[in-house]
């Protein structure tokens, strides 16, 4: 029995060694890809040493909570959690790592007043043992919190080696992702078993983590923390300024769109013109670097476009208001009558629709919803999240809904009710964090 256990440990070590070797060999390609992406987003090459674990240690000896959020979406989800941590644990610092420039930009925007004082940020080090160990030894965190399902073998192995407890928060695991992790066998099992707590959004996701080897006692259904996102303090005043500018027009929000989805929404706008309706399309591309391409697409279709970076409000002549700034989507949802949430008409998997629901706005999405898993089931059943299978169905449904204000109002009220019913995940998450950090 002891020999078998030793064989399993040695086998696992060999798997991680092979993984690390492959990662080391791929570093030239990784850096080449980084350079290529930096041609559009120069920030990818900013602070390159951080990607190898080179970060300055905090200037004082306060306890550090390490929060990893891949990109802007995960950072938005983590923002209210981070604020709760800062409030409940006034003697602690929060160190945020990201993997994209948009994630880093959101940290700077959301925590401008605390940055460099109680909130620090850096790139996530590459998943090589020495990079992760170098980072952990410099920062000396007391707790590692990973937002959503972000699993890196060497990160978790080095955290375990350093005695650093790790928690997965807002965890989600689709059936297809679970199958992928299952194929990795012992490597996946080792990562999942290294978590002190796994906090998931739904019961089926809990079952998948357990099936992959997680201790059932460590996997807790807390719900999504995205429904507990803190709204901006100036939301009411901003909406008071914005709404009169568009109050006489039907407004469609195209949020977090990807290539191919803007064209579908422009088809809808052209259909609206043919029906004699002076509708406005607010477009918020998922990736800011695509703004110029989206602008060219709109102008190529003969649309009058105003850019948020150039004007404060859409004009009466605007066909499209291009939201090319960061952190303002939550405001413009508040002036929309209907929303399309992207990543769903193309096989990305769908993005967060709850920001629309918190404003009492019905949502249309395409058939690709695998990133959302079971979360939207209640919204779909209530008809406030409508799923279409193709672009023609989206155009038809959006026009039908916008032509029926009474139905829009009913659906919006139900969306807001369901949104409020889905809240509470943050409270349950903080209760679990308290088991590691104490009451604060």
Has residue 5 got a pLDDT over 80?
Answer: no
Predicted local distance difference test score (pLDDT) of residue 12: 57
Section 343-370 average pLDDT: 94
DSSP 8-state symbol, 346 = T
Which CATH entry fits the domain spanning 18-25+36-223+424-437: 3.40.50.11720, 3.40.50.150, 3.40.50.10860, 3.60.15.10? 3.40.50.11720
Which CATH entry fits the domain spanning 235-421: 3.40.50.720, 3.40.50.300, 3.40.50.740, 3.40.50.2000? 3.40.50.2000
Section 420-439 average pLDDT: 91
Q: State pTM to two decimals.
A: 0.85
pLDDT-based confidence at residue 440 (cuts at 50, 70, 90): low
Nearest alpha-carbon partner for 339 in 419, 225, 228: 419
Q: Are 256 and 341 in contact (CB under 8 A)?
A: yes
Q: What is the tally of helices (H) and strands (E) in the chain? A: 17, 14
Q: Are 64 and 141 in contact (CB under 8 A)?
A: yes
pLDDT-based confidence at residue 220 (cuts at 50, 70, 90): very high
Q: Kindly report the backbone phi and psi dihedral angles of residue 39, in degrees, each rounded to the nearest multiple of 5, phi listed first.
A: -65, -30
Tell me the CB-side half-sphere exposure of residue 261, using CA atoms within 13 A.
30
d(CA 330, CA 10): 50
For the chain, domain boundaries: 18-25+36-223+424-437, 235-421
Predicted local distance difference test score (pLDDT) of residue 373: 66
pLDDT tens figures, 41-79: 899 999 999 999 999 887 778 899 999 999 888 998 899
CA angle 28, 20, 160 (to 5 degrees): 130
The catalytic residue among 41, 74, 272, 328 is 74
Summary mean pLDDT of the chain: 91
The reply to whether 18-25+36-223+424-437 and 235-421 are identical in fold is yes
pLDDT-based confidence at residue 375 (cuts at 50, 70, 90): low
The percent of residues above 90 in pLDDT, for the chain, comes to: 76
DSSP 8-state symbol, 57 = P
Has residue 7 got a pLDDT over 80?
Answer: no
Residue 310 known to be catalytic: no
3-state secondary structure of 107: helix
Which one has a higher pLDDT value, 252 or 373? Answer: 252
Tokens for 62, please give them.
Answer: 């306060």
């Amino acid at each position: 029995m002891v020999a078998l256990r030793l064989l399993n440990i040695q086998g696992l070590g060999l798997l991680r060694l092979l993984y690390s070797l492959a990662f080391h060999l791929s570093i030239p390609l990784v850096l080449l890809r980084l350079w290529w992406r930096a041609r559009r987003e120069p920030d990818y090459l900013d602070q390159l040493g951080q990607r190898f674990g080179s970060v300055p240690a905090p200037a004082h000896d306060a306890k550090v909570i390490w929060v990893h959020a891949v990109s802007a979406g995960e950072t938005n989800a983590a923002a209210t959690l981070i604020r709760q941590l800062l409030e409940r644990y006034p003697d602690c610092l929060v160190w945020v790592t990201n993997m994209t420039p948009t994630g880093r930009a959101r940290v700077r925007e959301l925590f401008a007043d605390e940055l460099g004082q109680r909130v620090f940020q850096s790139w996530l080090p590459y998943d090589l043992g020495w990079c992760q160990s170098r980072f952990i030894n410099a920062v000396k965190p007391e707790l590692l919190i990973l937002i959503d399902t972000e699993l890196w073998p060497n990160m978790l192995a080095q955290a375990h080696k350093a005695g650093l407890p790790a928690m997965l928060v807002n965890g989600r695991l689709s059936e297809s992702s679970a199958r992928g992790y299952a194929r990795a066998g012992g490597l996946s099992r080792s990562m999942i078993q290294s978590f002190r707590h796994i906090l998931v959004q739904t019961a089926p996701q809990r079952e998948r983590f357990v099936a992959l080897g997680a201790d059932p006692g460590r996997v807790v259904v807390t719900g999504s923390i995205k429904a507990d996102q803190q709204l901006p303090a100036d939301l009411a005043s901003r909406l008071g300024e914005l709404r009169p500018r568009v109050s006489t027009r039907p407004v469609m929000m195209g949020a977090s769109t990807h290539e191919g989805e803007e064209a579908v929404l422009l088809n809808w706008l052209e259909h609206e013109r043919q029906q004699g309706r002076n509708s406005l399309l607010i477009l918020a591309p998922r990736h800011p670097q695509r703004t110029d391409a989206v602008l060219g697409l709109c102008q190529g279709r003969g649309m009058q476009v105003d850019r948020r970076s150039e004007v404060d409000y859409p004009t009466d002549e605007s066909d499209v208001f291009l939201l090319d700034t960061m952190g303002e989507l939550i405001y413009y949802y508040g002036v929309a009558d209907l929303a399309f949430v992207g990543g769903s008409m193309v096989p990305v998997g769908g993005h967060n629709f709850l920001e629309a629901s918190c404003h009492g706005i019905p949502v249309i999405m395409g058939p690709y919803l695998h990133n959302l898993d079971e979360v939207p089931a209640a919204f779909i059943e209530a008809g406030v999240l409508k799923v279409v299978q193709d672009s023609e169905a989206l155009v038809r449904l959006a026009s039908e809904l916008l032509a029926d204000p009474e139905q829009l109002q009913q659906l919006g009220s139900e969306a807001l009710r369901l949104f409020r019913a889905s809240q509470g995940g943050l409270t349950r998450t903080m209760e679990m964090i308290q088991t590691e950090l104490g009451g604060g």
